[in-house]
Amino acid sequence: MPDVVSVLYCTAVLFVLAGLGLAARRIPQMTLLVYGGCFAVSLVLVGLSLAVLLRHGAVASVLVLPMGLPGVGANFRLDALSAFFLLVISIGGAAASLYGVGYGHAEHAPLRVLPFYAVFLAAMTLVVLAADAFTFLLAWEFMSLVSWALVVAHHEEPANIRAGYIYLVMASFGTLCLLLALGLLAGASGDYAFAAMRAARPSPTLAAIVALLVLVGAGSKAGIVPLHVWLPLAHPAAPSHVSALLSGVMTKVGIYAFIRIVFDIAGDHSPWSGLIVLAIGGITAVMGVLYALMQHDLKRLLAYHTVENIGIIFIGVGLALAFRANDQTLAAALALTAALFHVLNHALFKSLLFFGAGAVQAATGERDMEKLGGLIHVMPQTAIVFLIGCAAISALPPLNGFVSEWLTFQAILVSPQLPQWSLKFAVPAVGALLALAAALAAACFVKAYGVVFLGRPRTPVAATAHEVDRFSLTAMFALAVLCVFAGILPGFVIDLLSSVTAMLTGATLPKQAGLPWLSIVPLAESRSSYNGLIIFAFLLSAGTLAALVIHRFATRATRRSAIWDCGFPLDSPATQYTSSSFAMPIRRVFGASVFQVIEHVDMPQPGEMRAGHFQVRVRDPAWRFAYGPLARAVTRAAQRLNQLQFLTVRSYLTLVFSALIALLLVVAAWR
């Protein structure tokens, strides 16, 4: 049985599970069954996609089902690119389902989550499987709508309704752009199968327009600045395992759409499109992490941080486009490997962190970091895995986040070979932006971890929290192990990606798994190498050695005492650094240029008995500069057009007649 058929069977099972989920109210065990079933199906999908990726160069055949558009049917295909993204989806899906087994029990409205959850997984699978424009857009829209239903699952809170509304508007706009892009590619002949579009080889101008449209359409799903505004609202609104899927996996489906249409179908591009993608990637990375630093809602911080990672991925994709446009296929393969590696990494650690945030929320009922603290003492296991996630996402060696950033830097260092001067100057600047984003990410996660898990509890709920259930913990530990594994043995992941780069750039990096000591050397001539395994072993042995020497030859005497704090310890946990105070220096340094930070200090006069107040408001400038004016313009236009509803029949007839004449004139002029 071909792989694509097996995958379709799996999605069919997911639909069946969704149907079973409808019975969740009457049969409480359904929750377990649905999540368990989704977990099993996802594991099968992991196996199937891995098998495709390991079978390099196998010809992927198109499966045509007699559904969809007449004459075209529904085309499905599982090639290397689809298989890689299917792997990402199914790893995320498996972990989220396992987490859901434990987490989902507390759900007060399972009917609003369970059916949609299974269908959401199926829809994402169908998007990467689709091989014609109609099926693709249908699956894409299906994915958007189902995820919208999940976002507004807890619709009692007005903020969630608003988030859902904004998400719906952005998703429709994105789909419109994709529709136009695919329509342009289909051309006048109107053949909607991807294979036919690919064979048509669009002209460079057309390819550029398509690339821009897809950048907007797929980018709004992935969350590039300034199309990211829905993301920090919608992702935290959903239940935490769904947030993990939205942030860790669905944004990747947006990346998939971009790579599929721009790289695979639209064919050759001018280096300019690479430059635009690169610049947007760099800006997105830095803006995303700066916004994330300003947040004190843990889940919103994570959602904003997704924007940063999407930027890093787009830097890699943009570099790959630029290199490929100049026929530097090996460098393009390197840049694409870096981007795809980061896709996998981000799916791993962002899911892990959202699970951790969900665990914190389940244990304390709080998402506001200013009300947490000291959780390492009451949730020791969650604290360990969350720490691994934080270190991985901050791009610290020897974990996986560093490897993909290192690969991106290596790709940036090849850029002097590019002939275009604009790119030569832009690429190092983007490299500096990437370094800035990485350093700020570390600051952001020191803040997140330090405020939530370390220090003293700021509220009683934080002091009396309990560790979460073992299913949630297993899911988090599994992802943490994968983060470590991908970090210390990156060669295997790079080799896994070789069939994807071969398909899209025509080149593959040298095989890494056979290199001595399992190092990675992406480009033989640059001799730059990295070995996470040895660094890991060195760290372990150096730390153990230091501890042994100290404990053997120096004193082990330890005394517990009260906090010293320079001689003036204050009992109140409010004297600790908070999330806002931690971010304050960075707010001061970058605030003037990037945010409209409004700090309001209300200090009582001496003798007054009321409490002082300090208020900080940080606004996303995208709202002020892009969406605010846009929304106002739409409202104004709607009000003007409103008059059209109250005309006489005579005026309507005149209107219709003149519109007809105008259209005919346009057609006549066109011909």
Residue 409: both structure tokens together: 């830097």
Peptide bond into 510 cis (omega under 30): no
| 456 forms part of the interface with another protein (CB under 8 A) | yes
Nearer to another protein, 199 or 539 (CB): 539
Q: How far is the CB of 588 from another protein (least distance, A)?
A: 6
* Residue 391 phi, psi dihedral angles, 5° rounding: -65, -35
How far apart CA 617 and CA 620 sit, in angstroms, is 10
660 binds another protein (CB under 8 A): no
- Give, in order, the Cα–Cα distances in Å from 589 to each of 204, 293, 664: 42, 13, 58
Q: Which is nearer to another protein, 162 or 456 (CB)?
A: 456
**Stretch 241-280 residues interacting with another protein (CB under 8 A):** none
From 35, 291, 582, 627, residue interacting with another protein (rule: CB under 8 A): 582
Q: Based on CB atoms, which residue is closest to another protein, 165 or 409?
A: 409
* Radius of gyration, alpha carbons of the chain: 26
User: Which residue, 433 or 465, has its beta carbon nearer to another protein?
Assistant: 433
Q: How far is the CB of 570 from another protein (least distance, A)?
A: 8
Q: Does 576 bind another protein (CB under 8 A)?
A: yes
Q: How far apart are CA 321 and CA 378, in angstroms?
A: 48
Separation of alpha carbons 302 and 295, rounded Å: 9
Q: From the list 73, 358, 374, 487, which residue makes contact with another protein (rule: CB under 8 A)?
A: 374
Which amino acid is located at 104 in the chain?
Answer: G
Q: Which is nearer to another protein, 524 or 609 (CB)?
A: 524
Which of 13, 179, 376, 594 is close enough to bind another protein by CB under 8 A? 376
State the nearest-atom distance from the C-beta of 274 to another protein, in Å: 18
- CB nearer another protein, residue 424 or residue 636: 424
**201, 588, 613, 636: which one binds another protein (CB under 8 A):** 588
Nearest approach, Cβ of residue 443 and another protein (Å): 4
Binding another protein (rule: CB under 8 A), the pick from 188, 524, 566, 611 is 566
Question: Which 116-175 residues touch another protein, going by CB under 8 A?
Answer: none
Q: To the nearest whole angstrom, how small is the minimum distance from the Cβ of residue 353 to another protein?
A: 15
The residue within the footprint of another protein, chosen from 172, 575, 651, 654 (CB under 8 A), is 575
Nearer residue to another protein within complex by CB, 174 or 532: 532
* CB closer to another protein out of 421 and 646: 421
In eight-state DSSP terms, residue 333 is H
Pick the closer one to another protein by CB: 429 or 664. Answer: 429
Cα angle 362-366-367, degrees, rounded to a multiple of 5: 100
Question: C-beta of 363: minimal distance to another protein in Å?
Answer: 17
Kindly tell me which residue out of 109, 168, 206, 586 binds another protein, with binding defined by CB under 8 A. Answer: 586
User: Least distance from C-beta 523 to another protein, angstroms?
Assistant: 9
For residue 578, the one-letter residue type is: T
For position 490 contacting another protein by CB under 8 A, the verdict is no
- Contact positions with another protein (CB under 8 A) in 503-562: 519, 525-531, 534-535, 538-540, 542-543, 546-547, 550, 553-562
CB 514 → another protein: shortest distance, Å?
16
Q: Decide: 54 and 500 in contact? Cβ < 8 Å.
A: no
CB of 524 to another protein, least distance (A): 11
Stretch of 101-109, 296-304, 311-319, 585-593 contacting another protein, by CB under 8 A: 585-593
Q: Are 363 and 468 in contact (CB under 8 A)?
A: yes
Q: Is 298 left (phi over 0), alpha (psi -120 to 50) or beta?
A: alpha
Stretch that binds another protein, among 79-87, 226-234, 263-271, 581-589 (CB under 8 A): 581-589
Instruction: Write b or e for each residue in 464-479: b if 16 or more Cβ atoms lie within 10 A of its Cβ, otherwise e.
Output: ebebbbebbbebbbbb
**Measured from the CB atom, is 214 or 287 closer to another protein?**
287
Cβ within 8 Å of residue 622, ≥6 positions away: 225, 226, 228, 229
Q: String of b and e for 583-615 (b: at least 16 CB within 10 Å)?
A: bbebbeebbeebbebeeeeeeeeeeeeeeeeee
Name the nearest CA neighbour of 249 among 173, 349, 332, 149: 349
Q: Which is nearer to another protein, 356 or 374 (CB)?
A: 374
CA distance 164 to 304: 17
Interface of this chain with another protein, residues 279 to 298, rule: CB under 8 A: none
Among 565, 611, 643, 667, binds another protein (CB under 8 A): 565
Around Cβ 548, how many Cβ atoms within 10 Å?
10
| Minimum CB distance to another protein smaller for 115 or for 356 | 356
Ramachandran category for residue 223: left, alpha or beta (phi over 0 → left; psi -120 to 50 → alpha): left
Does 349 sit near another protein (CB under 8 A)?
Answer: no
Contact between residue 358 and residue 311 where contact means Cβ atoms under 8 Å apart:
no
Query: Cβ neighbours of residue 316 under 8 Å, at least 6 residues apart?
Result: 281, 335, 336, 338, 339, 340, 342, 404, 407, 408, 411
Q: Which is nearer to another protein, 536 or 623 (CB)?
A: 536
The distance of closest approach from Cβ of residue 12 to another protein in the complex, given in angstroms and rounded to an integer, is: 45
- Closer residue to another protein in complex, CB, 380/629: 380
**Residues in 421-450 at the binding interface with another protein, rule: CB under 8 A:** 421, 424-425, 428-429, 431-436, 438-440, 442-443, 445-447, 449-450
Phi, psi dihedral angles at 382 (to 5 degrees):
-60, -35
Give the Cα separation of 647 and 543 in Å (integer). 82
Binding residues among 391-410 for another protein as defined by CB under 8 A: 391, 394-397, 402, 406, 409-410
**Residue the block writes with tokens 């055949």:** 61
296 φ, ψ (degrees, to nearest 5)? -125, 5
Amino acid (one-letter) located at 173: F
Site for another protein in 1-40 (CB under 8 A): none
Contact between 215 and 276 (Cβ < 8 Å): yes
- Min dist CB 567 to another protein, Å, is 10
Tell me, by CB under 8 A, how many residues bind another protein. 89
In angstroms, the Cα distances linking 597 to 586, 618, 641 are: 12, 5, 37
When binding is defined by CB under 8 A, the residue of 28, 47, 416, 460 that contacts another protein is 416
Cβ closer to another protein: 174 or 455? 455
Would you call 598 helix, strand, or coil by DSSP? strand
